[in-house]
Chains A and B, each alone.
Chain A
Amino acid sequence: DVKVTQSSRYLVKRTGEKVFLECVQDMDHENMFWYRQDPGLGLRLIYFSYDVKMKEKGDIPEGYSVSREKKERFSLILESASTNQTSMYLCASLDRLNEKLFFGSGTQLSVL
């Protein structure tokens, strides 16, 4: 069965801290994505990656960076966390054969 695992369900950080959100998929998918979900705004794409060491900006990349050193792992980095980055963060990987996006359970990040 398809599995996308996000390392933390809940995270509380202070303003200015560097924050790492980790995501691992076990399906050998090439495409991986980071979204954030906010009330009234839906899911917005932060960054995505087509392959190892490849990354593309999504719709709201400001304040974020990503790392894809291995195919199964896609990390989202908040260089200096701010309160407006308090959100639910969702990682996903794409089954291109069936055109289905599989999501992790999400990380609820609170920046104080």
Chain B
Amino acid sequence: DQQVKQNSPSLSVQEGRISILNCDYTNSMFDYFLWYKKYPAEGPTFLISISSIKDKNEDGRFTVFLNKSAKHLSLHIVPSQPGDSAVYFCAASVWSSGDKLTFGTGTRLAVRP
């Protein structure tokens, strides 16, 4: 039972344009959400997070939006750069669970020069 879903396995975007990566979750107990980026042959690295008390968090070119009623979050990258090409994982946790993260299946982003 996949509690965190990323329905788009891949996305291709022109350099300079906006990339929007989507994530849906089913567990209403999740109250903390994160995005990780993964390059080939490397471990995932933390990108940005948001807690359920917020609906938006911004860090430079990266913004995460949370819609709790729809159990949906999205990552916006503006402007997209070729170095952003990677696999992006959405993750969620229940704050009191001891920080056990549940990850989505990942979306491979390709930014075309």
Contacts and interface: CB of A to CB of B under 8 A. Distances in A.
B101 A106 contact: no
Nearest to B104: A42
Given A31-B98, A50-B98, A99-B32, A42 B45 contact: no
Contacts of B9: 40
B42 interface: yes
Give the interface SS of chain A, mostly helix, strand, loop or mixed.
Answer: strand
A9 to B, nearest CB: 8
Interface of B is mostly: loop
A92 B43 contact: yes
Given A33-B100, A106-B41, 19 more contacts: A31-B98, A33-B101, A35-B103, A40-B9, A42-B103, A42-B104, A42-B105, A42-B106, A43-B44, A43-B89, A44-B103, A48-B100, A59-B102, A96-B99, A99-B49, A101-B34, A101-B99, A102-B46, A105-B42
Nearest to A50: B98
Interface in B71-113: 89, 91, 98-106
Interface string A81-100: 00000000010101010011
Interface in A17-66: 31, 33, 35, 40-45, 48, 50, 56, 58-59
Given A103-B45, A106-B41, A31 B105 contact: no
A81 B26 CA distance: 33
Interface of A: 4, 9, 31, 33, 35, 40-45, 48, 50, 56, 58-59, 90, 92, 94, 96, 99-106
B54 to A, nearest CB: 14
A26 B53 CA distance: 32
Nearest to A43: B103
A35 B103 CA distance: 10
A92 B36 CA distance: 13
24 contacts: A4-B43, A31-B98, A42-B6, A42-B103, A42-B104, A43-B106, A45-B101, A45-B102, A48-B100, A50-B98, A56-B98, A56-B100, A59-B102, A90-B44, A99-B32, A100-B46, A101-B34, A101-B44, A102-B46, A103-B44, A103-B45, A105-B43, A106-B41, A106-B42
